[in-house]
A and B are shown apart, each in its own frame.
Chain A
Amino acid sequence: MSLNKLTTVDRRDAKLALAHIYVAFIALLLGGLAGLLQVFVRTGQFTLPAGIGYYQVLTVHGVLLGLILTTFFIFGFQIASVSRTSGTFSDLQRRLGWIGFWLMTIGTTAAAVMVLLNKATVLYTFYAPLQAHWIFYLGLTLVVVGSWVGGAGQVLRYVQWRKENKGSKEPSPLLSFMVVINNLMWLVATLGVAVSVLFQLLPWSLGLIERVDVLLSRTLFWYFGHALVYFWLLPAYMVWYVIIPKVIGGKIFSDSLARLSFILFLLFSVPVGLHHQLTEPGIDGTWKFIQVILTMAVVVPSLMTAFSMFAMFELRGRELGGKGIFGWIRKLPWNDSRFFVPFIGMLAFIPGGAGGIVNASYQMNQLVHNTIWVPGHFHLTFASAVVLTYFGAAFWLIPHLTGRKLTKSINNLANISGILWAIGMTIMSAAMHIAGLLGAPRRSDYSEYGGAQQAYDWIPYQIAQAVGGTILFIAILVIMYVVVKLIWFAPKGEEEFPVGDVHESSGPTPPLLENFKLWLVILVALILFAYTVPLIDIISNAPPGVKGYKLW
């Protein structure tokens, strides 16, 4: 790099990033506890105390882990990444970050209070016509608006870098580029859910309008919902593409392929939401199928990523003297938690991705739709591949930001948490997949379904889920111990923020890849293509709207 050598995150930016990370790990602990209670209840041997409802706990689990842990950790990581690779934030950019943080935190608290008061037991997807308290919707709105404000701070820092480096032959910093892609995707996707909440659910829960168009609100939710999962995934990909090479002493396999894969994720994130609605009435089958094809396009950047990762591993393993077809594998730094824990995540992504193809496969979806196979699937993709990568990043990011060291003993504990996670999740997720194929529904309290034989056949798998879930909760406790150590107690020192260099054979990066205007135009065109006709159909054929129900 010809520019000022940035190696550490500025103290003030570090404080902002850490604030986000604290909230994320509090959410992990509480959300994990909710998950533990769920698997216990589903064994049939345990009832929740003090009149707490199963679906209340399930709402807590989904909101805290799916919406709060993710958004807050992602922002903490992205703020640190932009500050590290593009440069220290300006006062304005940092202020935007803090405003965003407080909006999101206030929103989270408001929504959480409503869930705890049992005024919003609508699960984290809040499908109408189940109607939560208006403060719940307002809280989620604040989380989204806060994420826009905070995201703007990150994007502005990147824009500033581009301005300062006009005419430079060097491509923009890869990690910052990826952060900007993720923020753009988030902005475009959240527009859908924002329209639904602001114009439908919020006024409806306030009594300003009596009825809502249920199918429209679901379609707007899923316009957002699938991009949401890519919003979780892309920061994990940032770690895989940019951080891991440096951790293992290798080089980024290809700068342009990394950028291209992020652009493809951006393009195929939003115009695909109908694949969550394949068994729904009121949407034309042909348009469902078109969105299935657009969904499957994501296989391309996924394959590119898989190749880049393993190519990079092999290059490094051979550099270290690995011989033969598989000899290089032994040479990788397996005892380094910054590599090992995310690597477990990468492995989980292989069956996770394969299961995802089944889910999105039009007719095949009928076999698994809304069965517990689906949570089994996203506990591999999201709750293993993505979160293990977040943890692997936290193990160096937190000490980097707090000015401490990841010591050998903490590193070993971190590795143990990864192994526990792998064992617990293998048991739990496999049991969920099998029970799902046998027809067991997701999002369901313990039930014997009037003594039906099929329902009895599901129970052994529910017990297996409790075993796996318990091991996972122990893993969470170990991770919390590691995190607390790294925040307050680890020895003072300097922990590296690893950012990989690009391999010599990577070749120059075409400027086209950095042309955001072009990619945004293509994204909007794809969205218009995929959604215009279905939305016109849904609106023009709509039956009378539906009043709110509170059935919990």
Chain B
Amino acid sequence: MHIHKYEKYFLVFGVGTLVAFLIILGIGAFHQGSHPNSGKKTLDYEKVKEIAPFDNPGVHKVEGKDWDYEVVILASAFYYNPPEIEVPLGAKVKFIATSEDVIHGFEIAGTNINMMLEPGYVSEYVAEINQAGEFLIVCNEYCGTGHTLMHSMLKVVDPNES
């Protein structure tokens, strides 16, 4: 098959760039551990309120783990429990969330915290909270008429300022 000389240069350059890009993504993922949510745990969504940790949604300080806080969120149409989350600036936080009915989203606007919540599956994401302020939490997967009524707020407080 005949390929024009310039097209060969063009493809070599293009594919080379692509490979370099994929290597960077791969290093980010597998060397530095930057993965999106791929939570493995499952549960019975109809009994979720009796199952730890979802029997006690809210912010919990933890010791001896790689993170300082665990934030447990239970989503349902059209509500997040807890309706507000407060963590100190600089904390390392593990978000643990699931849905007790349909599919919901859990997106903290202006951050890279963004997960799908599905009934029966536990979604998890660990993030360093390095910016103070109020961050709106929205459901970003259509879940019914009240979809946009479904929101919460992440308040990041600077302990040195108050």
Indicate if B57 sits at the interface (CB-CB under 8 A). no
B114 and A367 form a contact (CB under 8 A): yes
Known contacts A130-B144, A551-B145, A552-B144; A452/B34 CB under 8 A: no
One of B6, B30, B36, B102 near A130 (C-beta < 8 A): B102
A281 and B123 form a contact (CB under 8 A): yes
Interface string of A343-377 (1 = CB under 8 A from B): 00000000000000100011111110111000000
B151 and A452 form a contact (CB under 8 A): yes
Q: Which residues of B, 1-42, contact A by the 8 Å Cβ criterion? A: 1-4, 6-7, 10-11, 14-15, 18, 21-22, 25-26, 28-30, 34-40, 42
B11 and A303 form a contact (CB under 8 A): yes
Indicate if B146 sits at the interface (CB-CB under 8 A). yes
Indicate if A522 sits at the interface (CB-CB under 8 A). no
Bound Cα distance A514, B9 (Å): 26
One of A449, A544, A549 near B120 (C-beta < 8 A): A544
A350 CB to nearest B CB, Å: 13
Indicate if B129 sits at the interface (CB-CB under 8 A). no
Closest B residue, CB atoms, query A550: B144
Q: Which residues of A, 506-552, contact B by the 8 Å Cβ criterion? A: 506-507, 509-510, 513, 541-544, 546, 549, 551-552
- Inside 8 A of B117's CB, which chain A residues have their CB? 281
A447 and B42 form a contact (CB under 8 A): no
A129 and B102 form a contact (CB under 8 A): yes
One of A363, A365, A369, A438 near B140 (C-beta < 8 A): A369
Interface-side segment among A16-24, A79-87, A253-261, A399-407: A253-261
B131 CB to nearest A CB, Å: 13
Indicate if B55 sits at the interface (CB-CB under 8 A). no
Indicate if B147 sits at the interface (CB-CB under 8 A). yes
Indicate if A289 sits at the interface (CB-CB under 8 A). yes
One of A280, A284, A454 near B118 (C-beta < 8 A): A280
Closest A residue, CB atoms, query B78: A551
Indicate if B70 sits at the interface (CB-CB under 8 A). no
B97 CB to nearest A CB, Å: 9
Indicate if A279 sits at the interface (CB-CB under 8 A). yes
One of B29, B108, B123 near A285 (C-beta < 8 A): B29
Interface-side segment among A25-33, A64-72, A293-301, A322-330: A293-301
Known contacts A299-B18, A546-B120; A370/B36 CB under 8 A: no
Considering only CB atoms and an 8 Å cut-off, how many residues of chain A contact the other chain?
76
B111 CB to nearest A CB, Å: 8
Interface centre among B103, B122, B124 (most CB of A within 10 A): B103
Bound Cα distance A58, B40 (Å): 33
Interface string of B118-141 (1 = CB under 8 A from A): 111111100000000011101111
A282 and B2 form a contact (CB under 8 A): no
Known contacts A289-B29, A363-B29; A543/B144 CB under 8 A: no
Closest B residue, CB atoms, query A59: B142
B148 and A454 form a contact (CB under 8 A): no
- Inside 8 A of A549's CB, which chain B residues have their CB? 77, 101-102, 144
One of A253, A308, A370, A446 near B114 (C-beta < 8 A): A370
Bound Cα distance A551, B93 (Å): 32
Indicate if A292 sits at the interface (CB-CB under 8 A). yes
One of B115, B134, B145 near A55 (C-beta < 8 A): B145
B151 and A281 form a contact (CB under 8 A): no
B36 and A546 form a contact (CB under 8 A): no
Known contacts A296-B18, A449-B151; A214/B145 CB under 8 A: no
- Inside 8 A of B37's CB, which chain A residues have their CB? 279-281
B51 CB to nearest A CB, Å: 11
A12 CB to nearest B CB, Å: 38
One of B29, B77, B122 near A281 (C-beta < 8 A): B122
Indicate if B67 sits at the interface (CB-CB under 8 A). no
Bound Cα distance A20, B43 (Å): 47
Indicate if B44 sits at the interface (CB-CB under 8 A). yes
A541 CB to nearest B CB, Å: 6
Closest B residue, CB atoms, query A304: B11
Indicate if A278 sits at the interface (CB-CB under 8 A). yes
Indicate if B50 sits at the interface (CB-CB under 8 A). no
B46 and A311 form a contact (CB under 8 A): no
Bound Cα distance A418, B2 (Å): 36
- Inside 8 A of B62's CB, which chain A residues have their CB? none
A98 CB to nearest B CB, Å: 36
B118 and A282 form a contact (CB under 8 A): yes
B110 and A281 form a contact (CB under 8 A): no
Closest B residue, CB atoms, query A452: B136
- Inside 8 A of A300's CB, which chain B residues have their CB? 11, 14-15, 18
B103 and A292 form a contact (CB under 8 A): no
Known contacts A371-B140, A439-B109; A281/B10 CB under 8 A: no
B27 CB to nearest A CB, Å: 11
Indicate if B112 sits at the interface (CB-CB under 8 A). yes
B119 and A129 form a contact (CB under 8 A): yes
A551 and B151 form a contact (CB under 8 A): no
B114 and A279 form a contact (CB under 8 A): yes
Indicate if A441 sits at the interface (CB-CB under 8 A). yes
- Inside 8 A of B138's CB, which chain A residues have their CB? 439, 441, 444, 449
Bound Cα distance A256, B45 (Å): 54
B10 and A438 form a contact (CB under 8 A): no
Q: Which residues of A, 118-138, contact B by the 8 Å Cβ criterion? A: 123, 127, 129-130
Bound Cα distance A370, B139 (Å): 9
B77 and A551 form a contact (CB under 8 A): yes
Closest B residue, CB atoms, query A284: B38
One of B2, B118, B148 near A215 (C-beta < 8 A): B118
One of A55, A257, A281, A289 near B142 (C-beta < 8 A): A55
Closest B residue, CB atoms, query A123: B142
Indicate if A443 sits at the interface (CB-CB under 8 A). yes
Bound Cα distance A438, B138 (Å): 12
Indicate if B143 sits at the interface (CB-CB under 8 A). yes
Interface pairs A-B: 4 shortest CB-CB: A551-B144, A439-B109, A543-B120, A507-B2
Question: What would 13 A/B residue contacts be, using CB atoms closer than 8 Å?
Answer: A123-B142, A279-B36, A282-B118, A289-B30, A299-B14, A366-B112, A369-B114, A370-B105, A441-B107, A444-B142, A444-B148, A445-B147, A543-B44
Query: 11 more A-B contacts (CB under 8 A) besides A123-B142, A278-B36?
Result: A280-B38, A281-B39, A281-B124, A299-B14, A307-B10, A311-B4, A366-B113, A370-B105, A543-B43, A546-B45, A551-B101
